[in-house]
Amino acid sequence: MKSLIHRLQQHIPVSDAEIDEFLQIHAFPWVEENTVLFFYRGDAEQVRLRHWIFGLPSSQDFFRIPSTRHWVLQADIPHQSRIEYKFEVVQRGHSHWIRDPLNKHLAYDPFGANSVCQGAGYLTPEWTLEDTESRAGTLEDIEIDSQAYGGKRHLTVYLPARFRPRRRYPLLIVHDGPDYKRYSSLKFVLDNLIHRNEVAPLIVALQHPVQRLQEYPDHPAQAQFTVHEVLPLLQERYPIHDLPQMRGLMGASFGGVATLSTAWRHPEVFGRLLLQSGSFAFTDIGENKRGPLFDPVVDFMNRFRKNPGKFSEKVFVTCGMYESLIYENRSIVPLLQKTGMEVEYRESRDGHNWINWRDHLRDALTWLFPGPLWMIYE
């Protein structure tokens, strides 16, 4: 089979039968050490790789092997990388974006699904998968009349396995809660990490945004909703510790901005923060070039960067190296550290996506809410 790959790499024609035989055992893309070979079979005028890797051209042309319907593209893929991608296939002058038909690995997000190329050394962490050994927590939906937003809002509350009303628990509030559950396997992650005593049993409140692109970039109503409506309601209904170090807030992308903005507007309310690939765009000079959606973000970040202050205790920051926001996330770390807060920062070779955020959850949650791992021998 290596010879088939070699011939494709050398753009030497191979037969459909040989490809079919190869596909019975292997799949594309073919990853070998630090290179990846993408393959497409079909009639087309042009085939391109479309991806979301900041730093590389977002569109790369495949090479058609002469006199065949076979298209190949070889690219670099550093160790432990994850790349989400699609193929752009041009037929009769029309361009279609499709998932790689030969790749079963998919990653889902609110916009659909992408194909995934996993570099050598990347493994799906086993703690993100459903484990029948783990005692499962429960979910319950609650409704809240929000004055801040002037209408009903929904929360989903995760109660850890063996929840006891007479015990007090730490609380974690999650922006984009349903997406974290659906695309980052948050419930399995919580079940597993709590069961293994790596994370303390937590109550986790999943916020359901309505217009996240308006609500999350430093909207005063969002901070008001979280601190003055969600938090009191949860404290009334559930046994929650009344200490900042027992309260956490987290979010990704614009949810990261909402987390930072809410915690900054209400210092010392949340002692534990998780900021994942925050859209922390700022300007040192000149205008925001990321479009009008980012105007409130840039305005907030510029104010925040002038006067961050100490507003929490422990902050965990994560970002993917292949994100356009990597510079902004790297630069916020020393800023936060200077305030005297404890800050941890992790990067991975991944993009701005839910799997990247999922893969950092163990590091983050075990640092923010460590469980009695060393003490429990059941």
Partner 1 sequence: MPHLIVLGPQRLEPTVHHILKEHGIDGDIALVSAGWQEREEEDEELREVLGSHCRVHNLRIHARCEDVFHADTELFEAHRARQDQLRDLQNLYRFRLDKLVEAAQHLFRHQGDPALVLPERADAIAAIQRLDQHHLQRLQLVHQNFEARWRSLERPAIQQQREEIHSVLGYCPTIAIAGGHVAVLLNRIRMLGIETFFADRRLVAWSAGAMALSDRVVLFHDHPPQGAGTPEILDLGLGYFKGLLPLPHAKRRLNLDDPARVALLAQRFHPSLCCALDEGSRIQATSAGWKIFPHTRLLHTDGHVQHFSHATVLPSPHASEHANQFPSRDALPSAEKAAALDSFTSATEIPTLASFTSATEIPTLASFTSATEIPTLAPKGESR
How far is Cα 217 from Cα 295, in angstroms, rounded to an integer?
Answer: 9
What is the side-by-side strand order in the sheet with 30-32? 30-32, 35-41, 70-76, 63-64
Among 54, 238, 345, 367, binds partner 1 (CB under 8 A): 367
Stretch that binds partner 1, among 97-105, 206-214, 246-254, 370-378 (CB under 8 A): 370-378
**Residues 317/344, Cβ–Cβ less than 8 Å:** yes
Among 167, 237, 310, 338, binds partner 1 (CB under 8 A): 167
**Residues 175/251, Cβ–Cβ less than 8 Å:** yes
CB of 245 to partner 1, least distance (A): 16
Stretch that binds partner 1, among 147-155, 162-170, 226-234, 347-355 (CB under 8 A): 162-170
* DSSP assigned state of 8: H
Q: At 265, list the tokens.
A: 């507007």
Among 164, 237, 310, 338, binds partner 1 (CB under 8 A): 164
Q: Is 260 helix (H, G, I), strand (E, B) or coil?
A: helix
Among 67, 92, 94, 133, binds partner 1 (CB under 8 A): 133
Stretch that binds partner 1, among 8-16, 73-81, 101-109, 163-171 (CB under 8 A): 163-171
- Kindly tell me which of 64 and 346 has the beta carbon lying closer to partner 1: 346
CA dist list (Å): 77 to 36, 55, 294: 6, 13, 31
Q: Is 320 helix (H, G, I), strand (E, B) or coil?
A: strand
Among 139, 210, 335, 373, binds partner 1 (CB under 8 A): 373
CB of 259 to partner 1, least distance (A): 21
Q: DSSP string spanning 323-372?
A: STTHHHHHHHHHHHHHTT-EEEEEEES--SSHHHHHHTHHHHHHHHSB-S
Stretch that binds partner 1, among 14-22, 81-89, 140-148, 366-374 (CB under 8 A): 366-374
Q: Is 17 helix (H, G, I), strand (E, B) or coil?
A: helix
CB of 374 to partner 1, least distance (A): 5
- Kindly tell me which of 245 and 366 has the beta carbon lying closer to partner 1: 366
**Residues 217/162, Cβ–Cβ less than 8 Å:** no
**Residues 258/297, Cβ–Cβ less than 8 Å:** no
- Kindly tell me which of 43 and 133 has the beta carbon lying closer to partner 1: 133
Among 166, 211, 286, 287, binds partner 1 (CB under 8 A): 166
Site size toward partner 1 (CB under 8 A) is 19
First to last CA, the chain: 48
Instruction: Work out whether 25 is an interface residue with partner 1 (CB under 8 A).
Output: no
Among 17, 25, 285, 376, binds partner 1 (CB under 8 A): 376
Number of residues written out for the chain: 378
Question: By C-alpha distance, which of 169, 227, 239 is closest to 202?
Answer: 169
**x/- string (CB under 8 A) for partner 1, residues 189-228?**
-------x-x------------------------------
Q: At 350, list the tokens.
A: 């991944």
**Could you tell me the sign of the dihedral formed by the alpha carbons of 109, 111, 112, 114, in that order?**
negative
Stretch that binds partner 1, among 220-228, 259-267, 299-307, 361-369 (CB under 8 A): 361-369
Stretch that binds partner 1, among 228-236, 253-261, 288-296, 365-373 (CB under 8 A): 365-373
- Kindly tell me which of 143 and 378 has the beta carbon lying closer to partner 1: 378
CB of 302 to partner 1, least distance (A): 34
CB of 366 to partner 1, least distance (A): 4
How far is Cα 274 from Cα 249, in angstroms, rounded to an integer?
Answer: 6
* Binding region for partner 1 (CB under 8 A): 133, 162, 164, 166-167, 196, 198, 362-363, 366-367, 370, 372-378
